[in-house]
Amino acid sequence: MQVRKRSQSGFSLLELMIAMTIMLIMMSVATSLFSRSLSTRLRESRTTDALTSAYAALNVMSREIGNSGYGLLDPATGLATNGIVLPDSDAHKIHVRSNFNNITAYTDPNAPGQTNAPGEDVTYYFEATTKSIVRYDPHSSPTTSVVVNKISNVTFNYYDYVTSGSSGTGPNTTPTGATGRIVITVSVDLDPIYGQPNPSSITFSSEVNMRNSNYMLQQY
């Protein structure tokens, strides 16, 4: 009696290669989508961190610059002053003074007892080598501190107001005794992320009214 063998069927080599190719393509697409999603999430996280730090720095600068000139009078006119040290201020640096302790009448910004307490003599400037906004106060310890880093630029635009109801002139790259408003603009560099447009930065501004300037006091 002759026994017949059952025929065995299976995948051919060509079919296996096609199946493997399709699987590799699908895995590549899934990996690409996952990588893109991860990089987007990473960028959003870093953007949030950068914005949080920059906003905090702007709040600190806006508060101190806005209080500039408190307790000070122009010795020549006897009028209120904005407190900006003009020779030390430009588009990327601002030096302001205030007399919070109100020890004596204002005669000279460098006179003893006028602006020699912490927070009364402050300079903010952009340091290009470290990409940082630096705060300098000769009466604090330490005298120099970094307000925020990873900054590509910071600019100060000055607007002058002379008469009551004036619309103001500016923006100017240097302040004057008539400066009544300052716009601080900060550009934040974002870390490069693979698969995303690079380089990338975010720019935003804060408007500061010099509330102790002679012009601003006339508005109240």
Q: Total domain count for the chain?
A: 1
Across the chain, mean pLDDT equals: 79
Of residues 104 and 180, which shows the higher confidence score? 180
| 214 in a structural domain | yes
Q: Return the pLDDT at 25.
A: 81
| 203 in a structural domain | yes
Pair of tokens at residue 131: 């990409």
169-200 pLDDT, tens digit each: 889 999 998 899 999 998 887 766 655 666 66
| 147 in a structural domain | yes
| Cα–Cα dist 66/163, whole Å | 20
Binned at pLDDT 50, 70 and 90, residue 147 comes out as confident
| 1 in a structural domain | no
Q: Which of 134, 95, 135 minimizes the C-alpha distance to 115? A: 95
As beta bridge partners, residue 204 has: 186
| 14 in a structural domain | no
12-35 pLDDT, tens digit each: 777 777 778 888 887 777 677 666
Which of 110-119, 127-136, 139-148, 183-192 is least confident?
Answer: 110-119
| 6 in a structural domain | no
Of residues 112 and 114, which shows the higher confidence score? 114
Q: Which domain holds residue 85?
A: 40-218
Q: Return the pLDDT at 94.
A: 96
| 166 in a structural domain | yes
66-101 pLDDT, tens digit each: 999 888 887 777 788 889 999 999 999 999 998 887
pTM higher than 0.75 for the full model? no
| 11 in a structural domain | no
Q: Which residues contact 105 (CB under 8 A, 6 or more apart)?
A: 73
